Amino acid sequence: MIDLYPAIDLRGGRCVRLYQGDFSRETVYGDDPVAVARAYEDAGAPWIHVVDLDASRGQGSNRELVIAVAAAVSVPVQTGGGVRDTSLLDEGVSRIVLGSVAVGEPDLAARLIQEAPGQVAIGLDHWDGQVRVRGWEDGAGVELFEALAWPELSGAASFVVTNIARDATLEGPDLDGYRRLLEVTDTPVVASGGVGSLDDLRALDCIGVSGVIVGKALYEGRFDVTGALEVLAGP
């Protein structure tokens, strides 16, 4: 069974989703992220995935809210967005996701991976195979498969890979892309972007990713956490 990561994306203290990472195409789904996290936990979610969108752009921070979410639930919380050190691990967060720093300063990423074994994931967000950083707004000048092979990133807990073109579209994940990724890395891959149905979860389970992040499909009622877990548990 792959892990389900219900997503809470934070902007200005509210739960939002961005269509294809576009900050001008934002949908607000609530102003109480802690309550959303508790509801996910109550439904049986094994993880909560939190993204600080403001911090990812270097334009503010929801750090205290991330810490509040981690304190409010007993399940592990994974968080990314502007993360440059392991300090959130001392504040109740179970795993951090390094994004911009992983491709901009791989040596620093390597030190953080060594500092907190099993608690540091690498976020690789891409558009047509080109990695994007700082809230997906800037190109990193790095190809996805190039970054996967960097020795500095070996030892990461997982690669959290988002196909930005699919994100919040509900049009289905990039299954072919994830199959290719799994052929070239032994590091667990967590899929993110495009999930819109229970069939999408079944398909991802079949190809061997270690986890799946789901956001808009839950907010829009395409399915709920309970239904997702039943599918991922198998027949």
Distances (CA, A) of 215 to 26, 168, 181: 13, 7, 22
Tokens for 97? 């996701």
Rounded to whole angstroms, the Cα distance separating 32 from 105 reads: 34
138 is catalytic: no
Task: Enumerate residues 6+ apart whose C-beta is below 8 A from 205.
Answer: 1, 2, 231, 232, 234
Asked whether the beta carbons of 173 and 209 are under 8 A apart, the reply is: no
Q: Exposed, middle or buried: residue 198 (CB in 10 Å: 0-12, 13-18, 19+)?
A: middle
Which of 3, 9, 54, 167 is labelled catalytic? 9
Residue with tokens 């499909």: 217
Contact at 8 Å (CB) between 76 and 100? no
CA pair distance 173, 196, nearest whole angstrom: 8
Determine which one of 3, 52, 54, 125 is catalytic.
Answer: 125
What is the signed CA dihedral for 201, 207, 208, 213, rounded to 10 degrees?
-30
Residue whose pair of structure tokens reads 């020795």 in the numeric block: 151
- Is 54 one of the catalytic residues? no
Q: Which residues fall within 8 angstroms of residue 93, CB to CB, at 6 or more apart?
A: 66, 67, 70, 77, 78, 79
Residue 27, token pair as written in the block: 């949908």
- Which are the catalytic amino acids? 9, 125
